[in-house]
Amino acid sequence: MNPEPRQLRAQRWWLLTLRGVAIGGIGILLLLMVLGIRPVPMGDALGGLLLVAGVCAGWFGLVNQRTEQDGLWLMLNGLIDTGFGIAALVLAHQPVENMIDLVGFWALLFAFLQAVQAMYFYVGLHYGSDPRVKILHGLLVLASGGLAFAVLMHPEPPADPVLLTALLPMLMGGLLIALGSRLHHDAAVAALR
């Protein structure tokens, strides 16, 4: 059996999909909060989703570190997500505003790390220079930066960021799923060469 396909399977690409689902889940959680529906305590749910995202990114990065150039990026993403997940669990019974601020600071670090990753991809050091990966990274920078701005800067009405705060993590989750799919495709193509 050819070692490349087995190596691609060992990389556990499904972890990137699960990470995107967890990040999108943060948006759904925030949307429920905006609608006044709180089925579970927000801090516990936010912490759980961030921990899932962090473990998925860290695990994928650790497995990929031997075979891919982006393993370190995902390990750093995992560290940030896990750290904020633990913080959310510790602060779980604080006022909702504290949880929203926590989301803002997480989005700020997420945007910073995505911006660095985007620059890495824009100079073409990974899988040639797939323009779709570059576009997805750029959109992730815009979405996460927009979330950080909307949460931390609290624009005054009529530019109330409440709905935007809920929609942007859902967009980020979808973009992460698309990015993981694209990276998987590019890795498969690179393995065939």
Question: By percentage, how much of the chain surpasses pLDDT 90?
Answer: 38
How much is the mean pLDDT over the chain?
82
Question: Which residues have CB under 8 Å from 56's CB, separation 6+?
Answer: 15, 16, 18, 19, 22, 78
DSSP state of 55: H
Residue 40 tokens read as 């579970």
Give the span between the Cα atoms of 24 and 90, in whole angstroms. 22
Which pLDDT does position 163 carry in this prediction?
Answer: 79
For 24-43, how does the pLDDT look when each residue is reduced to its tens digit (9 = 90+)?
Answer: 999 998 888 878 887 778 88
Q: Report the 10 Å Cβ neighbour count for 128.
A: 12
Question: Which residues have CB under 8 Å from 32's CB, separation 6+?
Answer: 38, 39
Give the residue extent of every domain in the chain.
Answer: 3-192
One DSSP character per residue, 11-41 reads T-THHHHHHHHHHHHHHHHHHHHHTT--SS-
Predicted TM-score (pTM) of the model is 0.85
Reported confidence tier of residue 1, pLDDT bands at 50, 70, 90: very low
Task: Say which residue the tokens 């973009």 belong to.
Answer: 175
Which pLDDT does position 81 carry in this prediction?
Answer: 96
Reported confidence tier of residue 94, pLDDT bands at 50, 70, 90: confident
